[in-house]
């Protein structure tokens, strides 16, 4: 059976319980908070702090983190441009499924290319996609270097390091811009909580208006 045959034999199923039903049970709308930035910028730390705050408020959440995903779902991928693109494609599909479950999904990935982030936004839906640019300067990221990756990239023992010999394309119109060199993770989480609640309130208002 070839790929065309497989596509022809796929019939999408419809089920009784919808995303709206799940969100009603959860007591809040779902959302994808997409953290993007260089390695060492603080994405995972922010994701953890944000989830703790959301969890304390009774929101149903889940973090998709770069290293964790690459140890399982994307363990077959490397760091070439092609593999990075496939990595983000898979994350986008998983995020969309979790959004359908009514969760607040927090993703922490470098996701260096605008085109892939654009595809993620389009697939997930602009109203559901909250892009956070963790704009920590490269010099600060290198100084932290928690995994020793920048050191290896500088001495030539590691290739395709984003920010060194592989490009990072900054978001052009992110929902929020954060610099962890001047704010603590707790402060950042607080700022994002306020922005997310504002977005959620607007989403609920729009949903109510559509049903009138």
Give the range with max mean pLDDT: 10-24, 138-152, 197-211.
138-152
Q: Give the list of residues 6+ apart from residue 29 with CB closer than 8 angstroms, or none.
A: 23, 102, 200, 203, 204, 207
Tell me the pLDDT tens digit for each residue of 161-197: 999 999 999 999 999 999 888 888 888 898 898 887 7
Residues noted as catalytic: 111
pLDDT of residue 194: 86
Q: For residue 22, what pLDDT is reported?
A: 94
% of the chain surpassing 90 pLDDT: 62
Residues 65-115 have pLDDT tens digits of: 878 888 888 889 888 889 888 988 999 999 999 999 999 999 999 999 999
DSSP annotation string for the chain: --HHHHHHT------SS-HHHHHHHHTS--EEEEEE--TTSSHHHHHHHHHHHHHHTT--EEEEEHHHHHTTTTTT--SSHHHHHHHHHHHHHHHHHHHHTT-EEEEE-----HHHHHHHHHHH-GGGEEEEEE---HHHHHHH-TTSHHHHHHTTSS-S-BTTTB-----SS-SEEE-TTTS-HHHHHHHHHHHHHHHHHHHHHHHHHHH-
pTM for this predicted structure: 0.85
Can you give the pLDDT at residue 195? 82
Q: Say how far apart CA 195 and CA 162 lie, in whole Å.
A: 28
Q: What is 26-211's CATH topology?
A: Rossmann fold (3.40.50)
Task: Decide if pLDDT at 198 tops 80.
Answer: no
Q: Over 70: is that where the pLDDT of 6 sits?
A: no
pLDDT of residue 179: 87
Instruction: Answer for the pair 123, 92: CB distance below 8 angstroms, yes or no.
Output: yes
Q: What is the pLDDT of residues 29-55, one digit of tens each?
A: 999 999 999 999 999 999 999 999 999
pLDDT above 70 as % of the chain = 90
For position 8, what pLDDT does the model report? 65
Q: What is the pLDDT of residue 21?
A: 94
């Amino acid at each position: 059976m070839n790929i065309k045959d497989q596509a022809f034999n796929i019939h999408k199923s419809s089920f009784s319980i919808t995303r709206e039903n799940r969100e009603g049970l959860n007591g809040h709308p779902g959302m994808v908070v997409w953290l993007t930035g260089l390695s060492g910028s603080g994405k995972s730390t922010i994701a953890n702090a944000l989830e703790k705050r959301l969890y304390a408020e009774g929101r149903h959440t889940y973090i998709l983190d770069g290293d964790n995903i690459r140890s399982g779902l994307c363990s077959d991928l490397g760091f070439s441009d092609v593999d990075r693109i496939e990595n983000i494609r898979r994350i986008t599909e998983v995020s969309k499924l979790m959004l359908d479950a009514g969760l607040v999904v927090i993703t922490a990935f470098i996701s260096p290319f605008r085109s892939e982030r654009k595809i993620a936004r389009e697939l997930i839906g602009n109203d559901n996609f909250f892009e956070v640019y963790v704009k920590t300067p490269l010099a600060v990221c290198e100084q932290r270097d928690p995994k020793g990756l920048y050191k290896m990239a500088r001495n030539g023992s590691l290739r395709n390091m984003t920010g060194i010999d592989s490009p990072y394309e900054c978001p052009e119109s992110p929902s929020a811009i954060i610099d962890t060199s001047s704010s603590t993770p707790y402060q950042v989480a607080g700022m994002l909580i306020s922005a997310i609640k504002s977005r959620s309130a607007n989403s609920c208002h729009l949903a109510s208006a559509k049903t009138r």
